[in-house]
């Protein structure tokens, strides 16, 4: 069962979580405010209430995880979201990252390849309050050509290399944040498509994500 109550205790734990993330180097006030706002325990079974406010990734079923809060904050900070921007997310998972992006004012288009996870979000009533998030069941490697181009693209699974179709769907001036690497460890990269179409690549810290897989899984 998903919890539906956000108590003072939860809010207190969340405040500590935000202080911890800040101490690890996240400085974007809007990102920190979003994490303070969102009841992360709503995204986990009530049996794991306590775990929701530790700075750890956690299993959500189908061999997948809700990303570590620090990682969510890190990717969100690198994205430099401005209100009303169109953001494509690959790997909806628990939808926690999508909600952080929505809190930052983005219009989020998020794709999940695992049918059960996609459906779990469809039957998560609290998510309905975020009408700026649209959910898609499909293969993230294809992106969403119908809705392209996007101001921002975020990949929340380990990509062996930067998917060409997702670069195509990025607007000139747009930013992609993606963990790249085929092994257990990936490098966080930020790719900016300059107005003349040239790609600028910046490399940041090491992270460990579940793999970005091809095709859909029913």
- Point out the residues that are catalytic: 67
CB of 9 to ligand SAH, least distance (A): 23
Please tell me the distance from the alpha carbon of residue 164 to that of residue 187, in angstroms, as a whole number. 18
Taking the least distance from each CB to ligand SAH, the nearer of 39 and 93 is: 93
CB of 197 to ligand SAH, least distance (A): 25
Name residues whose C-beta falls within 8 Å of residue 175's C-beta, 6 or more positions apart in sequence: 78, 79, 80, 151, 152, 153, 190, 191, 192, 193
88 binds ligand SAH (CB under 6 A): no
135 binds ligand SAH (CB under 6 A): no
Taking the least distance from each CB to ligand SAH, the nearer of 24 and 115 is: 115
With residues binned 3-state (H G I as helix, E B as strand, rest as coil), the percentages for the chain, rounded to 5, are 35, 30, 35
In order, the DSSP letters of 144-178 are -TTT--EEEEEE-SBBSS--HHHHHTEEEEEEEEE
17-25, 111-119, 169-177, 184-192 -> range binding ligand SAH (CB under 6 A): 111-119
CB of 83 to ligand SAH, least distance (A): 21
186 binds ligand SAH (CB under 6 A): no
Taking the least distance from each CB to ligand SAH, the nearer of 42 and 141 is: 141
Site string for ligand SAH, 155-174 (x = CB under 6 A): -xx-----------------
- For ligand SAH, which residue of 118, 141, 150, 207 counts as binding (CB under 6 A)? 141
Site string for ligand SAH, 43-72 (x = CB under 6 A): ---------------------xxxx-----
Nearest to 151 by CA among 105, 186, 113: 105
CB of 8 to ligand SAH, least distance (A): 25
> Scanning the structure block, which residue is given the tokens 């990269």?
189
Residue pair 107/129 in contact by the 8 Å Cβ criterion:
no
**How many CB atoms sit inside 10 A of residue 200's CB?**
10
């Amino acid at each position: 069962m998903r919890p539906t109550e956000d108590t003072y205790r939860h809010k207190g734990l969340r405040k500590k979580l935000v202080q911890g993330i800040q101490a690890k180097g996240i400085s974007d006030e809007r990102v920190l405010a979003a994490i303070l706002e969102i009841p992360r325990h709503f995204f986990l079974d009530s049996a794991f209430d306590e775990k929701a406010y530790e700075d750890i990734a956690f299993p959500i079923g189908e061999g997948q995880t809700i990303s570590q809060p620090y990682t969510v904050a890190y990717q969100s900070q690198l994205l430099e979201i401005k209100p009303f921007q169109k953001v494509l997310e690959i790997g909806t998972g628990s939808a926690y990252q999508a909600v952080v992006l929505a809190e930052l004012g983005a219009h989020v288009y998020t794709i999940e390849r695992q049918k059960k996870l996609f459906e779990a979000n469809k039957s998560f009533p609290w998510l309905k309050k975020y009408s700026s998030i649209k959910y898609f069941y499909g293969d993230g490697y294809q992106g969403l050509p119908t809705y392209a181009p996007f101001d921002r693209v975020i990949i929340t699974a380990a990509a062996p290399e930067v998917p060409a179709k997702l670069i195509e769907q990025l607007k000139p001036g747009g930013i992609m944040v993606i963990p790249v690497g085929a092994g257990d460890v990936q490098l966080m990269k930020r790719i900016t498509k300059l107005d003349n179409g040239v790609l600028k690549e910046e490399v940041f810290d090491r992270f460990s994500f579940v793999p970005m897989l091809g095709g859909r899984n029913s």
